[in-house]
Amino acid sequence: MAKKFIIEGGRYLKGEIRIRGAKNAVTKQMVAALSAPGKSVLTNVPEIGDVEITRGILASLGCVIEHRQDEGVLEIDAANLSTPVVPRQYSGLNRIPILLAGVLLHRFGRAGIPMMGGCDIGPRPVDFHLEGFRALGADIEYRDGAYHFTAKRLRGARVTLPFPSVGATENLMMAAATAQGTTEIRNAAIEPEIVDLALFLQGMGAIITQETDRTWSIQGVDSLHPATHRVINDRIEAASFAVSAIATRGDVLIRGADQLHMLTFLNWLRKAGGEFEMVEDGIRFCGMHSKLKPIAVETGVHPGLMTDWQQPLVILLTQAEGMSVIHETVYENRFGYAETLNRMGARIQLYSECLGGRDCRFRQLGHKHSAVIMGPTPLTGAHIEIPDLRAGFSYLVAAVLAKGRTEISGVQYIERGYDRVVEKFRQLGVPISVEQS
């Protein structure tokens, strides 16, 4: 049954919420648990659709999983895996199947991975993953809509990624943990969620060193053992609510928001006029007296401004006085959601030039990857359809700001990545009604 969110706008967020474990960490750690026969335990697990999808994938491979949702505990028993082939039904739901290549090779010497999907934000190829596995000695064949990997045991190698891809770095890190010899992943991603994966793997017995200059060095071991790990908090969820608080001129204490992992975001928020203060267990964001100002910023890999922070930030900038510029340098097609915001009253124009900063790898390719946002613009309620997860959250914030009623469909995208989102908005004084149709 399709679900809709209905919001009567013109409100502000006030109160306190708690952030939970990061979607983009927990799902990878669920995969990593398969490296060791036995029961691994993850804590601080969020209640999100992507955990459920990943749980389904793991169960289809023979894992026995217990998820105690209220406690945020996930026990994954990977003692008796039954197949190295990910069923086709999981292709297209999220980005997890390709990340199973290394752990399944370790357990079975082969892996069958259907073509994968995720949010509709560009083509999202897997060539870096495939090249990396070939360098580690895997044979890869594509047939009948799936990649088939084989390798008795992977061998350590030096791999230089063409771009610091999060998924390719994680995939190769997990594969290299049990390869023979040492692997160096250069030009690698170093996001906090990847460090968190390295910590979990280390707890399982892996030897992983973070070198300077975006290099991970992994000394392969013969086997890993099960471990218990607390998942890092979700800095995207924290930033999304922070922006919602400021844009709606509200006042929200976000428990679990971690300054260390939000340094870049907080700098840009401050430049845009957003006010915040650190408290014992989180950060308080207060927009009641903020004078919002325009900024010119580009997204980038860590420690740059995350591409997943871009969409909520755009909503904030629709409320700032003057012209802001955002140059998206991670994905070529991540402003598709702007048209709907324009329908609600925003003034956002998209350009294929690299605006406001350096040239990026999308220069002259014709992708509309720069946005100019004129503000402040009042927004008005509308009927809207969500195209992807982060855009979905932005639409929610736009709806809270907008005058009148907004009906949002496609909410399964939001629920894939945001823990108890309806409950949290209600807790902050915004009554979202949920309708099934």
**Which amino acid is located at 3 in the chain?**
K
Quote the Cα angle for 119-235-430, to 5°: 80
Region of 103-111, 127-135, 180-188, 375-383 interacting with ligand EPZ (CB under 6 A):
127-135
Query: What angle separates helix 235-247 from helix 23-32, to the nearest 10 degrees?
Result: 170
d(CA 260, CA 257): 9
Q: Which residues contact 138 (CB under 8 A, 6 or more apart)?
A: 101, 105, 149, 150, 151, 154
Least separation in angstroms between residue 280's CB and ligand EPZ is 28
Which residue of 128, 285, 395, 418 would you call a contact of ligand EPZ, by CB under 6 A?
128
Per DSSP (E only), the strands in 115-243 are 139-143, 146-150, 158-160, 182-186, 207-211, 215-219, 228-230
Residues 181-220, mask of contacts with ligand EPZ (x by CB under 6 A)? --------x-------------------------------
Beta bridge partners of 322: 375
Query: Which residue lies nearer to ligand EPZ by CB, 194 or 208?
Result: 194
Is position 418 an interface residue for ligand EPZ (rule: CB under 6 A)?
no
d(CA 405, CA 383): 9
Query: Which residue lies nearer to ligand EPZ by CB, 307 or 319?
Result: 307
Is position 416 an interface residue for ligand EPZ (rule: CB under 6 A)?
no
Query: Which residue lies nearer to ligand EPZ by CB, 287 or 417?
Result: 417
Least separation in angstroms between residue 302's CB and ligand EPZ is 8
Query: Which residue lies nearer to ligand EPZ by CB, 264 or 380?
Result: 264
Region of 126-134, 275-283, 316-324, 345-353 interacting with ligand EPZ (CB under 6 A):
126-134
Query: Which residue lies nearer to ligand EPZ by CB, 251 or 258?
Result: 258
| 245 HSE (CA, 13 A, CB side) | 28
Helix residue spans in 93-221 (DSSP H): 96-99, 101-108, 127-135, 166-177, 192-203
Q: Closest residue (Cβ) to ligand EPZ?
A: 167
Is position 29 an interface residue for ligand EPZ (rule: CB under 6 A)?
no
Which residue of 330, 338, 401, 411 would you call a contact of ligand EPZ, by CB under 6 A?
330
3-state secondary structure 355-366: CCCCCCCCCCCC
Query: Which residue lies nearer to ligand EPZ by CB, 14 or 23?
Result: 23
Is position 95 an interface residue for ligand EPZ (rule: CB under 6 A)?
yes
Which residue of 17, 119, 386, 408 would you call a contact of ligand EPZ, by CB under 6 A?
119
Is position 417 an interface residue for ligand EPZ (rule: CB under 6 A)?
yes
Which residue of 127, 139, 281, 353 would you call a contact of ligand EPZ, by CB under 6 A?
127
Query: Which residue lies nearer to ligand EPZ by CB, 394 or 406?
Result: 394
Least separation in angstroms between residue 12's CB and ligand EPZ is 26
Q: Are strands 228-230 and 215-219 parallel, antiparallel or unpaired?
A: unpaired
Touching ligand EPZ, residues 153-172 (CB under 6 A)? 163, 165-168
Which of helix, strand or coil describes residue 81? Answer: coil
Touching ligand EPZ, residues 353-392 (CB under 6 A)? 389-390
Q: How many residues bind ligand EPZ (CB under 6 A)?
A: 24
Instruction: Please say whether the beta carbons of 345 and 380 come within 8 A.
Output: yes
Look up residue 55 and give its two tokens: 């749980």
Q: Which residue in the list 63, 119, 286, 360 is annotated as catalytic?
A: 119
Q: Is 63 a catalytic residue?
A: no
Which residue of 258, 298, 308, 419 would you call a contact of ligand EPZ, by CB under 6 A?
308
Query: Which residue lies nearer to ligand EPZ by CB, 99 or 295?
Result: 99
Least separation in angstroms between residue 307's CB and ligand EPZ is 5
- Compute, in degrees rounded to 10, the torsion defined by CA atoms 249, 256, 432, 311: 70
Which residue of 20, 129, 229, 369 would you call a contact of ligand EPZ, by CB under 6 A?
129
3-state secondary structure 383-417: EEECCCHHHHHHHHHHHHHCECEEEEECCHHHHHH
Which of helix, strand or coil describes residue 183? Answer: strand
d(CA 347, CA 61): 48
Q: Quick one: how far is CA 199 from the chain centroid?
A: 18
Residues in the chain: 437
Least separation in angstroms between residue 273's CB and ligand EPZ is 26
Which active-site residues does the annotation give?
119
Residues found near ligand EPZ in the complex (CB under 6 A): 23-24, 95, 119, 122, 124-129, 163, 165-168, 189, 307-308, 330-331, 389-390, 417
